[in-house]
Amino acid sequence: MNDNVKRIVFVIASVILVLVIYDYVTDTRQIHQPTWSEFERQIDEGNLDEVTIVSSPEGFARNVKGIYSTDVEGYSRFELAPLSLPGTGEEITNKLRQMDVEIKTEIEEETWWTMLLINSLPILLIIGIWLYFIYRTRKSMGGGGMMGVGESKAKLYQEETPDVTFENVAGYSGPKNEVQQVIQFLKEPEKFDRLGGEIPKGILMVGPPGTGKTLTARAIAGEAGVAFLSTEGSDFMEMFVGVGASRVRDLFERAKELAPAIIFIDEIDSVGRKRGAGLGGGHDEREQTLNQLLSEMDGFEPNTGVILLAATNRPDILDPALLRSGRFDRQITFEMPTLKERRQILSLHAENKPLGDDVDLDEIASGTPGFSGADLRNLLNEAALLAAEKDVDEISREILDEARDKVIMGLQREEMAISEEEKKTMATHESGHTIVAFCAENSDPVHKVTIIPRGRALGATQQLPLEEKKMYTREDLMDRLAVLMAGRVAEQLKLDTVTNGAQDDLRRATKMARKMVLQWGMSTALGNVAFQDSNGNVFLGEEMGHKREYSEETSQKIDQAVSEIIDEATEHARGIMIENEDKLDRLIEILSERETLNAEEIEALMAGEELPPMETEDEDEKQDAEESAGKSETDSIDEEEEEKTETEDNSVAEKINELKGIIEREKKRQENEDAN
């Protein structure tokens, strides 16, 4: 019986039980239960119509029930509780006959199972409730319950294998080529058996979060068309001791039954971390689970058709026994996507999004270095949400830029009130970063600078590299440090004070300088030596048992070397600012006014050019008002000119008419004289 049928049966039984109890309660409430004296009084008053005496097979009266001739206290029926009637019952029978009450007798036969059912009903109800909670517990524990808690919680994709294939995985051509051999083996195992080849038992996918490890695992199953068992590393852990090991055994047994099959364990570092690294010894639940996992991987027969895939972003904390050959034979590294891969990922996620004509995916790809595949998907999704919020039909370049700022720096905090003094300080700090980033020879170009608060930052200076580097020279790193320290230096030069705005800059600069000294051998005082950093131990047990490999004197030299590198970068930034102090002042003034400057505006300012006036809504309204006022004034002048012209025309016409009259009168006078 499957779970759905059990659930239906349980619901039906519960409904019937509730209806029976309800019927019993309501039926009891509709029957009057008088006392014996009340019953005798009702006989004397003639309120009875019918009486039934119920007795046992042995002749003992049990109770009396019947019907009232008129309602008594709102009841039409009555029943006396089970009792032994007084005397033989003849007196009550005679009294009933005298009152012309119809008398009936009834023999009640009781069976043992009826009594058992009545007496055991509360117990059955308690057992039903207990079974219900057991069912809920089993469901919450992945189907095993208290008795099946050791069953694997892996999800099985078999009849319908994952619909993800390599067509849904853009970029990452290297990792995809690596797993092609696995897919070929699952499809054609005899091809490898013929030459005695053994497919790797385990493949470990390593890379930062969001780089497509889980997606690639699903694509492998989709391409191969085999059973796919997917689980999380944390699913093996439970509050009961031994559950993790039991679930590992059950998982591998299911995979062997379904072979060919793929087992995928995501975030394997939660169960496969180094043994003996904690303070509790080697007998905790996690280590027992890991030991069972190691044993199961050793028990794999060659070419059984079961392959273990695992993914992690912390390979440094995995147990060495897990990584040896024969277990995880192959490691596939997933790096952050390159420029070409970012372009492919953007194209894949932009297929169902209407992009504007001004959007260039190549430009977006070059402007998103360090973005993972998940970050790029989120970027386009945020742009689509912003476009919908603005009620436009397509995603423009401006909306994509806004979405990128939101992803990188966080949501704009428009409600934050900033005084003019703080705005000036922020402009000074960010202008320092911008000047040094623009003038330093090995620095990345500045893309944007803003003093509008976003996320946890009050301001930001964005740099976008022209090309992606894998190796950095000491000069590259020193220029980066100079850019980080430039905000603090600008505060000292222009404000003669320092603020807490450089907190993140100092943290990042110190971390980079320590790496230069401890790991990369870039300190002239200490030479080409790499030192173990105690902060690198992620387990307290390892750190307590770790013996430092250098003396206290060397530790002091390391601290001094770190400080010297930061001081050197600080003086480099100071020299650039003093040399370009006029440009720094101009940048502070413009940034305080406009709050945000893009790359073109920054280049224009550094070249000494004037920026076009900033158009605001107030100025646009003022310009419209002035144009309207000018138009009104012109219309008024035109009307006055027309009135003046019309007046002058009327005056000339009057004079002409007057002259005509004089000529006519003179002509008539001359004619009269000639006639005389």
| Residue 555 tokens, joined | 């530790």
Catalytic choice (430, 568, 626, 643): 430
Per-residue CA distances from 432 to 379, 443, 485, 576 (Å): 29, 14, 9, 10
CA distance 378 to 296: 39
CA contacts within 13 A on the Cβ side of 84: 3
Task: Work out the number of other CB atoms within 10 angstroms of the CB of residue 466.
Answer: 8
Residue with tokens 């905790």: 284
Residue 333's CB is within 10 A of a number of other CB atoms, namely 13
User: How many helices and strands (H and E) does the chain possess?
Assistant: 23, 13
Name 426's Cβ contacts closer than 8 Å, sequence gap at least 6.
418, 451, 458, 459, 501
- What are the phi and psi torsion angles at 17 (to 5°)? -60, -45
Q: How many CA atoms lie within 13 A of 146 on its CB side?
A: 8
d(CA 367, CA 437): 17
430: annotated active-site residue: yes
By CB neighbour count within 10 A (0-12 exposed, 13-18 middle, 19+ buried), where does 578 fall? exposed
Structure-token match 């002749």, residue found: 59
Residue 258 sits at φ, ψ, to 5 deg, of -95, 0
Here the tokens at position 103 are 């008398």
Alpha helices by DSSP H, listed for 392-496, are: 397-409, 420-439, 474-495
Kindly state the tokens that stand for 602.
């920054």
242: left (phi over 0), alpha (psi -120 to 50) or beta: left
Please count the other Cβ atoms lying within 10 Å of the Cβ belonging to residue 64.
Answer: 22
DSSP symbol at 455: T
The CA-atom distances, in angstroms, between 31 and each of 22, 38, 43, 77, 84 are 15, 15, 17, 5, 20
C-alpha span between 216 and 222 (Å, rounded)? 10
- Which one, of 299, 189, 179, 190, lies nearest residue 248 by Cα? 299
Q: C-alpha 510: how far from its chain's center?
A: 31
SS (H, E, C) 501-517: HHHHHHHHHHHHHHHHH
Residue 269 near residue 318 (C-beta atoms within 8 A): yes
**CA 92 – CA 103 distance, rounded (Å):** 11
Q: Which residues are catalytic?
A: 430
